[in-house]
Amino acid sequence: MEFLNTIFSSTANEAVVNLIYIFSSALFIIGLKMLGSPETAAKGNLISALGMLVAVVVTLLDQSVTNFQWIFVAMFLGASIGAIAALKIEMTSMPEMVAIFNGFGGIASLLVGSSEYLLSSTDSLGILIPTFLTVIIGGLTFTGSIIAYGKLSGRMNGNPILYKGQQWINGLLVLLLLFFGFEMIVNQGLVFTLNWQVLTAIICLSFLLGILLIIPIGGGDMPVVIALLNSYSGLAACAAGFVIQNNVLIVAGALVGASGLILTNIMCKAMNRSLANVLFSGFGAIVASGTSKGEQGEVRPIVTGDAYLILEAASSVAIVPGYGMAVAQAQHAVRELGELLEGNGTTVQYVIHPVAGRMPGHMNVLLAEANVPYDQLIEPGDINPIIESVDVCIVIGANDVVNPAAREDNESPIYGMPIIDVDKAITTFVLKRSMASGFAGIENPLFFKTNTRMLFGDAKDSITALVSEFKS
């Protein structure tokens, strides 16, 4: 390694290093752009990874790095954890894995900012302000992501946790953080005289704030929360880049932060709710005590054989996947059913709602894993204008994104939310294990519509049975 350092230092200077960083940043931007399309997403991910590899290599070869032993140990441990996660984690667990990885990003930034603050004697506002931001954003991202992980994985109750004076307490924590931030930046010694004491106070308060910000958010809003926490992790990394004066970290963090905020905004629009409403409304609690009409009526079950006869005669079928498909691991069976329907002369489309599943793009990832053609994936806005001419809509484990109460019941907590109008199709099959409400806990009048048929049971078993009917 000393030999490599000698070669590197003899052929490059700071300008060359920054030039390579610019090249890495360009790869990040190109990769991020390619992630916007399913056809190019895989290549975009590889290009972004290449950009990060280049940035890591040039950073390690920089003469500011003098000891590589612990760096190599950390790289080995990180690569091992990542490889195990990639190989072991099921696609159904992808939302909670994304949540926990957001937390890792936050704590990494916090550790960078903390070490620089304790080891450096600088009094520059240009360093101290980013240090404070790095610690506070990284800390709340870490604990907030842990809570999100717990709710998504079922290790804690997904319902909102609300208590009297919640917003006042959160406001007090913010004021305390600002006070200790002033202590850190101005170094007045108003409460603590030692740097580590000020830092410890900020870390503890940011951890607590992250917990209290996420526990009031119900499971139905987790896609928005994941996008927001992803943005937070990027902003923390960006601030850390200013702390250690690393240009590529600033660019990468800013890209993640900006894209996360854009995605968060898209998720909020998809639910017709503001970000403030998502963060502070206690959505699940409103549902539990709300005045939604909760339409009841006759449920019309259907057996696999009868469902096959209707599908066999259908000229157009729209498949609407939801989290139930992920739980049942039914995506491959769904793709096979789609292929059989196409072989029978049926037009098949897969309608993906932006907040279907428990993270942004959850259904897209599952269907891509099953090699469903990208050109068959459409959005609600593309199907709703023509849905009355669709012979059969097959709803697989989706609930809130197909709930007509969002359109019909102005007392419903989801009223005004754009949905997939599956109730307007000629016939709608709903595949569910039971009549239980969805993750958000809202009753769905779709189940009682006259054109709805309930196909009860495990989604994979039901789809597999339909496949067998087509093959027989």
What are the pLDDT digits (tens) for 109-122? 999 999 988 888 77
The CB density around residue 416, as the number of other CB atoms within 10 Å, is: 12
Long-range contacts of 431-434 (CB under 8 A, 24+ apart): 431/324, 431/394, 431/395, 431/396, 431/397, 431/455, 431/457, 431/459, 431/462, 431/463, 432/324, 432/397, 432/456, 432/459, 433/324, 433/457, 433/458, 433/459
**What is the domain extent for residue 328?**
304-471
- HSE toward the beta carbon, residue 90, CA cutoff 13 A: 9
Q: What are the tokens at 219?
A: 């499971």
- Could you report the per-residue pLDDT of 325-349, keeping only the tens digit for each? 888 888 999 999 999 999 999 999 9
Mean of per-residue pLDDT scores for the chain: 84
Region 294-300: mean pLDDT is 69
Residue 94 is predicted with a pLDDT of 77
Domain count for the chain, please give it: 2
Task: Tell me if 299 is assigned to some domain.
Answer: no
62 annotated active-site? no
Distance CA 453, CA 466 (A): 15
- Does residue 294 contact residue 424 with C-beta atoms inside 8 Å? no
Distance CA 122, CA 68 (A): 25
Same domain, residue pair 76 and 216: yes
- Could you report the per-residue pLDDT of 365-409, keeping only the tens digit for each? 888 888 888 888 998 989 999 999 999 999 998 888 898 988 888
Find which of 163-172, 185-194, 231-240, 407-416 is predicted with most confidence, using mean pLDDT.
Answer: 231-240
Which domain CATH number covers 360? Answer: 3.40.50.1220
Region 163-186: mean pLDDT is 88
Single residue among 239, 259, 286 that ends a domain in this structure: 286
Residue 425 is predicted with a pLDDT of 94
Rg (CA), the chain: 25
Single residue among 286, 317, 338 that ends a domain in this structure: 286
Of the listed 400, 409, 421, 423, which one is catalytic? 400
Task: Tell me if 169 is assigned to some domain.
Answer: yes
Task: Tell me if 296 is assigned to some domain.
Answer: no
Same domain, residue pair 393 and 425: yes
Residue 267 is predicted with a pLDDT of 80
3-state secondary structure at position 204: helix
Single residue among 222, 257, 286 that ends a domain in this structure: 286
Same domain, residue pair 256 and 387: no
3-state secondary structure at position 329: coil
Q: How far is CA 281 from the centre of its chain?
A: 20
Task: Tell me if 295 is assigned to some domain.
Answer: no
Q: How far is CA 323 from the centre of its chain?
A: 14
Same domain, residue pair 148 and 116: yes
Q: What are the tokens at 423?
A: 């109730």
Same domain, residue pair 153 and 87: yes
Distance CA 172, CA 179 (A): 11
Same domain, residue pair 81 and 202: yes
Task: Tell me if 401 is assigned to some domain.
Answer: yes
Residue 290 is predicted with a pLDDT of 44
Same domain, residue pair 265 and 406: no
Task: Tell me if 391 is assigned to some domain.
Answer: yes
State which amino acid sits at residue 91: M
Residue 277 is predicted with a pLDDT of 67
Same domain, residue pair 137 and 267: yes
Task: Tell me if 291 is assigned to some domain.
Answer: no
Give this prediction's pTM.
0.78
User: Has residue 240 got a pLDDT over 70?
Assistant: yes
Same domain, residue pair 344 and 258: no
Distance CA 86, CA 175 (A): 40
Same domain, residue pair 345 and 276: no
What sign has the CA pseudo-torsion 351, 430, 219, 149?
A: negative
Same domain, residue pair 373 and 455: yes
Q: What are the tokens at 53?
A: 């590899």
Region 443-455: mean pLDDT is 90
Task: Tell me if 330 is assigned to some domain.
Answer: yes
Confidence bin at 136 (pLDDT 50/70/90): very high
* Helix segments in 215-344, DSSP class H: 222-244, 247-270, 275-280, 283-289, 304-313, 323-328, 331-343
Same domain, residue pair 256 and 392: no
Q: What are the tokens at 346?
A: 């049926």
